[in-house]
Amino acid sequence: MIYDIVIIGGGPAGLTAALYARRANKTALIIEKATFGGQITHSPKVENIPGFLALSGNEFAEKMVEQVMEQGADVEIAEVTEIIDGEIKTVKTDSGEFHGKSVIIATGARHRMLGLEREDEFVGEGISFCAVCDGAFYTGKTVAVIGGGNSALQEAIMLSDLCKKVYVVQNLDYFTGEQKLVEILNSKNNVEAILGTTVESLMGENALNGIVIKRGEERRTILIDGMFVAIGLIPQNEFAADLITLNSWGYVDAGENCLTNKKGIFVAGDCRSKRIRQVATACSDGAIASLAACDYVDSL
């Protein structure tokens, strides 16, 4: 079968793209390698999605998948390994090939992890990545932010307005973020910066309740209610590196129109170069890319 649109990635961007494709009477296939919903599924409570007072990331993902399936989109669990360009695009995966008149890349970006034992186990159970999404969950509590760049400093500043105590742990002896952000952070009485220090291990049974940090041979135990990891993102665009233009960080080099340098190949969500990466902006990209793909298919 040749689909009108093959969508790579089943997060909010990809699911929104499929929804708009089906509403435009275009055949659509979503290829997802792991879990539908993307990063949002790690959030136990989300309060910034329009139309919902609060719900878990998993609940939101389930609602999106149900909606898209009801509209008649096809889904396939597989990992994409290559896209072959042509009048008909061939999407190669670890379980076969799929064909489409157009392709939308919506693979997202995964959070860079610390590489500690039980880290994956604690994601959503004390480990978070987004203060906008999960910060309110820790109101009046003690948290640690890991990282020292702009993202980490912004997370820490936001959390300082909610939390009783915020530790900022940076492996370098200085922050790498903007000086203005450093000044704001230093003005916060409830923030303690711990520089030149790494997180050695995580503590807790069913949920994270502390960390062991290390500077040289010195170790210190900090009891916390949650930890926000902000040491960067890794875009998942490796399979397309030889086909479309990526920037120096590996994100697809595309603007708000979601167009790549290849006709018939579009991009949506966190995998493209952009400043704001939130559910709302991912859904926006999904709609824009899908409508552009529909126009492209109609022009063939």
The active-site residue out of 4, 74, 94, 133 is 133
Distance CA 118, CA 116 (A): 6
The active-site residue out of 4, 134, 270, 285 is 134
Q: Is 134 part of the annotated catalytic residue set?
A: yes
Beta strands in 150-244 (DSSP E): 165-169, 191-194, 198-203, 210-215, 218-223, 226-229, 233-235
Alpha helices (H) in the chain, listed in sequence order = 12-23, 57-71, 119-122, 131-134, 150-160, 179-186, 279-299
Q: Is 163 part of the annotated catalytic residue set?
A: no
CA-nearest of 144, 129, 126 to 230 is 129
User: Residue 128: helix, strand or coil by DSSP?
Assistant: strand
Q: Do residues 101 and 297 touch, judged by C-beta distance below 8 A?
A: yes
Q: Do residues 19 and 67 touch, judged by C-beta distance below 8 A?
A: yes
The active-site residue out of 4, 85, 130, 285 is 130
β-strand 218-223 against 89-93: which pairing, if any? unpaired
> Rounded to 5 degrees, what angle do the CA atoms 247, 115, 109 make?
30
Q: Is 285 part of the annotated catalytic residue set?
A: no
Q: Do residues 261 and 244 touch, judged by C-beta distance below 8 A?
A: yes
What amino acid positions are annotated as catalytic residues?
130, 133-134
